[in-house]
Amino acid sequence: MPKPDWPTAAAFLPAEHDLEHLRAAAAECRGCPLHEHATQTVFGRGGPDARLALVGEQPGDVEDQEGEPFVGPAGRLLNRALEDAQIDRADVYLTNAVKHFKFTVRGKRRIHATPDTWQVAACRPWLDAELQAVRPDLVVLLGATAAKSVYGSSFRVTQSRGVLLPWPVEGGPQTVATIHPSAVLRADDRGAALAGLVADLRVAAQALA
């Protein structure tokens, strides 16, 4: 649960929940302390009529600087995986469970740090509002943080990846959980890891066909 001394993103949601108003309001979000060191809010990108939404963990260093999701090394690998799965990135809504980059500093480098559970929960209202605005038919959850933000801390991607799952609340979109593209970059056998990611994305593509 969010720590009580931070208001969570709910306090910053605009009255109108279309993507334009949400993006503008998110730029001023102070719902948790991650905004204090991040360069900027990195909100989702994509059309309001996208049938498929991809949800990652948080922006990386490149995304934090450019203000766009999935434009760094993991994003380039995701592009390849989407192409192999015959999914057009232009038809996808891309976002993250957390909108600010959490990191530790080592020398001159900013190293990714996993958001705390309460920080993910504090940011959840943005994800809920995005999905309500887009209303995708299916959501792909990329990695443990994204999956746990929807299904709770007991969810294990390794046990439930690559299958269609119902949204926790009736009436929501179906989901497919899989690994984050950054996990492919860290894998000892990148070829096998990429093939697994592509296979999971094909499940999503086939469900939408």
Q: What pLDDT digit, counting tens, does each position of 12-22 carry?
A: 999 999 999 99
Query: Exposed (0-12), middle (13-18) or buried (19+): which is 158, by Cβ within 10 Å?
Result: exposed
Pairwise CA distance, residues 26 & 99, whole Å: 8
**Is 183 in contact with 193 (CB distance < 8 Å)?**
yes
The answer to whether the CB of 94 falls within 8 A of the CB of 69 is yes
- The CATH class for the domain spanning 9-208 reads alpha beta
pLDDT at position 98, please? Answer: 98
Share of the chain above pLDDT 70, in %: 98
Q: How confident is the model at residue 6 (pLDDT cuts 50, 70, 90)?
A: confident
The 10s digit of each residue's pLDDT in 51-98 is 999 999 999 999 999 999 999 999 999 999 999 999 999 899 999 999
Q: Is pLDDT above 60 for 99?
A: yes
Q: What are the φ and ψ backbone dihedral angles of 126, each rounded to 5 degrees?
A: -65, -45
Task: Name the pLDDT band for 5 (thresholds 50, 70, 90).
Answer: confident
Banded pLDDT at 4 (limits 50, 70, 90) = low
For the chain, the structural domain boundaries read 9-208
Check: CB of residue 92 under 8 Å from CB of residue 128.
no
Hey, which bits of 39-173 come out as E strands?
52-56, 92-96, 103-106, 109-112, 138-142, 164-165
* Residue partners of 64: CB distance under 8 A and separation at least 6: 38, 39, 40, 42, 100, 101, 110
Residue 100 DSSP label:
S
> What percent of the chain has a predicted confidence (pLDDT) above 90?
93
Q: Give the predicted TM-score (pTM) of the model.
A: 0.95
Q: What is the pLDDT of residues 152-188, one digit of tens each?
A: 999 999 999 999 999 998 889 999 999 999 999 999 9
Tokens standing for residue 127: 């994800």
pLDDT digits (tens, 9 = 90+) for 112-165: 999 999 999 999 999 999 999 999 999 999 999 999 999 999 999 999 999 999
| pLDDT on residue 3 | 60
Examine the pLDDT at 10 and tell me if it is beyond 90: yes
